[in-house]
Structure 1
């Protein structure tokens, strides 16, 4: 293993298996903690119960057990209020229906928006077993032979709620279930994708004031791409008032409503783009002049990858960019003229028109034209 990866992955020895921590260098320490149940643990007629400790802290989170009643057999996946330790850790499973544990596929999310069930009799699978093949109690249960599927879970660590998954399989004859691996997101409240074991790499971001519209479209964002984009779907940009920057946590941003963020496609290269004029800050407020802002970029991971946040950008307060002294605009065309430093910009210009700029001495200092495909032009004559 290369040294730089050794620095990122720490291995722990635990009673029930090995514990691995995968992390990315982000503004918020986003870490997916994975524990391999080694060897795989089967719950069956001879080993009818298993106390499952997701984060291996000595506190049981779930009680998995087999029940037999005459011609019927069932497997339950219950929260800790009903474990053999009697410890209530507010542990619950995502429900497919009342009292039934949902079967998740790779990439399905576990988050606060899901429906959770803490019922003592949360059924994973139940069947009439004196017939061949066995007959399920209900269509909401896991099918026979389900392999490497996931239970979405949430549980408490101290006073904070964490989300995760448990990987298991169901025997083809419903005689056993086998627990193979567990994982959870160490950032409290952050969503988790079933089967995710690593987090995406973070990008970096800078911003500057590049227009005079008094809204988000004044902000030019430069994203330096993540070192590895292979497991990233796209980037997501959030504008945050500087006074509230500590509120921009992973779980808060992941649950943001559309309109309060802007998706930016990955290109394989660094990206510079203007934000949309309709974009709001993370509180749903209009982006205005006079308020200091920072931008945070989320690397949105694919189905097997957790998300990551960039460090906040530089601070930026939007203001009207003044026109350079000695430069004026006649009302012979639409558009705006302004300067940034020593550069003069003409924006929103009519198509197919001619431009002449005359200095204070009456000497023409610029002459050019605007083609049909151009809308902005620099004083040097280069379109932008």
Structure 2
């Protein structure tokens, strides 16, 4: 198994997972064909999700191409899903959805209540989810930061749905890798474009009770057959405590303050195309300000570095 993938060894409980055939068909993964089982997007989609779907159809401030990577950010709060939904993801922005997160919360079979989160490929036999199938149950890996998404990972079969979190009566009796919640973890994705494989990921949180998840961002490498690291465009913290700083914003201005800075640091602000729009210095026990009046609204990356290391934080300019 590739380094950076959080996995667990399937135990005996997996052998007894919902043995009734009708339950297996209804609850588990419906791999053979893609349908919208027992609900529709229109009926069950919240206002927040409908707004996302309308925005995702066009180009947004949080979406960019940088270093041949398509990247989409869902804002500082992310997009939280806590109702039954199929949330489509268009990784390569060609107006054809490549994957969908499926959620089914609080549905009952007999006296048991189930909560399930999964991800399934759409529309192309080349679309696949990183995961494995212990004892014939397909699971999507929970992947760590700074992991390459590439062919070194194990991948589910084309169009095979990968289960992420599965609870029965509030208990995680099985071996889904996202059971019990997760924060800033990744799903590995791959799609086919013009007969070439492209790797990508989606970053999300899963609630500890398995009753909601928050999608934060997703990315796709436009260079065929090349890996995409999960650290791409995620806030970076590779520095000693002496480089700690605080960012505050007010209309038209960003303030950076470092009370324990030991030596002068370089401050850079750059947009999602990699263009530096501001550079300056932050001195010990001082404050550095950035005038943002002339900048277009959207997401930027603030970078502060010196010999003690480097830190990056995302900032939203409105």
User: What is the TM-score with the length of structure 2 in the denominator?
Assistant: 0.49
User: What is the TM-score with the length of structure 1 in the denominator?
Assistant: 0.41
Higher helix share: 2
Structure showing greater radius of gyration is: 1
